[in-house]
Amino acid sequence: MTQSILHTALVVKDYDEAIEFYTKKLKFNLVEDTYQPKQDKRWVVVSPSGSGSAILLAKASNPEQEQFIGNQSGGRVFLFLRTDDFWRDYNEMVSINIEFAREPSEESYGTVAVFKDLYGNLWDLLELNETHPMY
Identical topology for domains 1-68 and 70-135: yes
44/28 Cα distance (integer angstroms): 12
Instruction: Indicate the domain borders of the chain.
Output: 1-68, 70-135
Categorize the per-residue pLDDT at 36 as very low, low, confident or very high, splitting at 50, 70 and 90: very high
- pLDDT at residue number 135: 57
Q: What mean pLDDT value characterizes the chain?
A: 94
Query: What are the pLDDT digits (tens) for 46-63?
Result: 999 988 889 999 999 999
Which one is the CATH code of 70-135: 3.40.50.1000, 3.40.605.10, 3.40.50.720, 3.10.180.10? 3.10.180.10
Mean pLDDT of 88-101: 98
Q: In what order do the strands lie in the sheet with 122-128?
A: 77-82, 122-128, 110-116, 100-107
- Find all residues with CB under 8 Å of 133, minimum gap 6, and list them: none
61/36 Cα distance (integer angstroms): 14
- C-beta of residue 58 within 8 angstroms of C-beta of residue 9: yes
**With 70 as the cut, is the pLDDT of residue 93 above it?**
yes
119/102 Cα distance (integer angstroms): 16
CATH 3.40.190.10 fits 1-68, yes or no: no
48/46 Cα distance (integer angstroms): 7
